[in-house]
Chains A and B, each alone.
Chain A
Amino acid sequence: MPLYSSLSEKQELIRKGNLSLTVNVRDFLSRIEQIKDVNAFLAVFPEKSVESAIEIEKKIISGKHGKLAGLVVGVKDVLALKNEIMTCGSAILQNFSPVYDATSVRKLIEEDAIIIGKTNCDEFAMGSSNENSAYGNVKNPYDHSKVPGGSSGGSAVAVSAGLCDAALGTDTGGSVRQPASFCGILGLKPTYGAVSRYGLTSFASSFDSVGVFANSIEDIFAIHDVIKGFDELDSTSVVSENSYCHDESRPLRIGIPVEYFDEGLATEIRHSAERIIERLKELGQTIIEVSLPNMRFAIPAYYILTTAEASSNLSRYDGVRFGLRTEKDGLLSSLYADTRSGGFGREVKRRIMLGTYVLSKGYYDAYYQKAQKVRRIIREDFLHVFNEVDLLLTPTTPTTAFNIGEKSENPLEMYLSDIYTTSVNLAGLPALNFPAGKDQNGLPFGLQFIAPYFCEDLLIKAVQLLNSDS
């Protein structure tokens, strides 16, 4: 059992001499080794993390330390850590060594967090089950025959199985929230632009966001608070204003969008949501039924736009400047194609093909531009309901974790597992998955709160309310 339930408790224990950070890091390292078969980590840094632990422990005891001192963190392998191989779960980057740190990672290190390793993920963050990693599946710690969710499966498992305190992930269409739901932990997807994407390997640039996994709500927001903010190296990052959306003087108005509680939702998840809604009412909050009438268009619009952006972003893997090169016949034109065909996995190639198709002459208006228009309609739906409510409460996933192999041969069915998460990314809103129960087989599931732009504080408030005893 962990000795602490949040970072501030951990720091207090270290300060009082009741916990050795070095021993703590060594415990994590041996646990990583012990349950290696879940395949959560692609790289572990034993020497460096122990060295940092020794140094940071001194800082904590001296009272002069960074905000995240002693926090042991796993980082999804699409975020750059200088001079440590970053594969992005792809064979095409098997030897790629970043020449700079991602801004989010740099900020963690500057605040004295310890990076213990790089976590496994779907190739280039494309997937919902972590079955698309060139370095093998990640297994759900609750049941090794189940997927952990994706694409940030390794990060979710690392936190859920006690292999580190917290982890960074990325959420383009649910890749933090869905694995957080399947692994029974908290997972925050911030507002688009709240956290710099510098050093995050681009998948779909107008959707990608850097999110956080942890077991404590306090830690989620301590980490988000550190990594957020404008970065001149990412022109889509936004000047950080401390945004407080919560009005203490009145109860929260929580909207329940009817469209999310359709026939596709597992009964146990529905019942849990109903219980939580009752609890919120008992706590004096206002529950309002609302409608997001165009939600059924979210998945098609999402997959058109993200595959289009991906096909463009992934054109950089050409065997010239970095990554794998496959040269067979001495011709430049076949060098590109041989490198890409051998280096990318099935799902990545499928998405590149789809994205190239929807952007190609004759189909651009019918698919790509149509989807951009639908994106606006979906965002308007959210903005409209946020005139009436402070937050939305919805399921995160329609079911608990599915079997490894169950959907891997059926891309469309896999895409549909993102049904409750992608609309948030189309609109660019912040959302937080929190554990909400387990099904009859003991598999966890979560629900998500969705907030208006930059109102991450409302997400904390709502989860803290539910955690409160009174």
Chain B
Amino acid sequence: MSVTPEDVIKIASLAKLKIDESEISQYTSELNKILDYMKTLDEIDTSSVKPLLNPLEGINAFREDKKKESLPREEALKNAPATDGEYFLVPKVVKGKN
């Protein structure tokens, strides 16, 4: 189950990263080296073990379903690269008139 250059291209696209030709071979070799080492895990039998998602599993975090104060709009927009004062702006994604 080794990583191919095609896999690298696919993963990069899933991760929204642009990579050039030279990076494809570099990632292929690096990921294969790392994943080979990860295969160490095949030596341990986990057939009767449940996955552990959080070290403090079993501690619940219920809270009242009540509205709380949130950030004012201008604060929330403060760090945005482009806004119209009310919304985040992004390049247009649908075709049509302006």
CB distance from A327 to the nearest CB of B (A): 7
Partner of B90, one of A335, A338, A353, A411: A335
User: Which residues of chain B come closer than 8 Å to A311, judged between CB atoms?
Assistant: 15
Contact, CB under 8 Å: B41 / A300: yes
Known: A318-B16, A370-B41, A371-B41. A376 touches B34 (CB 8 A): no
Contact between chains at A330 and B49 (CB < 8 Å): no
Bound-state CA distance A354–B17 (Å) is 12
* Residue A216 at the chain B interface, CB threshold 8 Å: no
Question: Which residues of A are found within 8 Å of B7, using beta-carbon distances?
Answer: 357
A189-225 CB contact bits vs B (8 Å, 1 = yes)? 0001100000000000010000000000000000000
Check if B59 sits within 8 Å of A193, measured CB to CB. yes
Which of B38, B56, B79 is A300 in contact with, Cβ under 8 Å?
B38
Q: Most chain-A Cβ atoms within 10 A of its Cβ — which of B50, B54, B55?
A: B55
Contact present for A366 and B1 (CB under 8 Å): yes
- The A interface is mostly helix, strand or loop, or mixed, namely helix
Q: Mark A299-314, 1 if CB is under 8 A from B, else 0.
A: 1110110000001000
Query: Chain B binding site: helix, strand, loop or mixed by DSSP?
Result: loop
Which residues from B are CB-within-8-Å of A235? 61, 63
Residue total for A at the interface (Cβ-Cβ under 8 A): 71
In the complex, the answer to whether A320 meets B17 with C-beta atoms within 8 Å is no
Cα distance A48–B82 in the bound complex, in angstroms: 31
Q: Does A13 count as interface, using CB distance less than 8 angstroms?
A: no
- Residues of A with C-beta under 8 A to B51: 369, 372-373, 375-376
Using Cβ atoms and an 8 Å threshold, which residues of chain B touch A334?
A: 18
Q: Which residues of A contact B (CB under 8 A)?
A: 95-97, 99-100, 192-193, 206, 232, 235-236, 238, 294, 296-297, 299-301, 303-304, 311, 315, 318-325, 327, 330-332, 334-338, 340-341, 344, 349-350, 352-354, 356-357, 360, 363, 366-367, 369-377, 379, 411-412, 415, 426-429, 453
What are 10 A-B contacts defined by CB distance under 8 Å? Answer: A300-B39, A300-B41, A321-B80, A322-B80, A337-B18, A350-B30, A354-B35, A373-B49, A379-B55, A453-B56
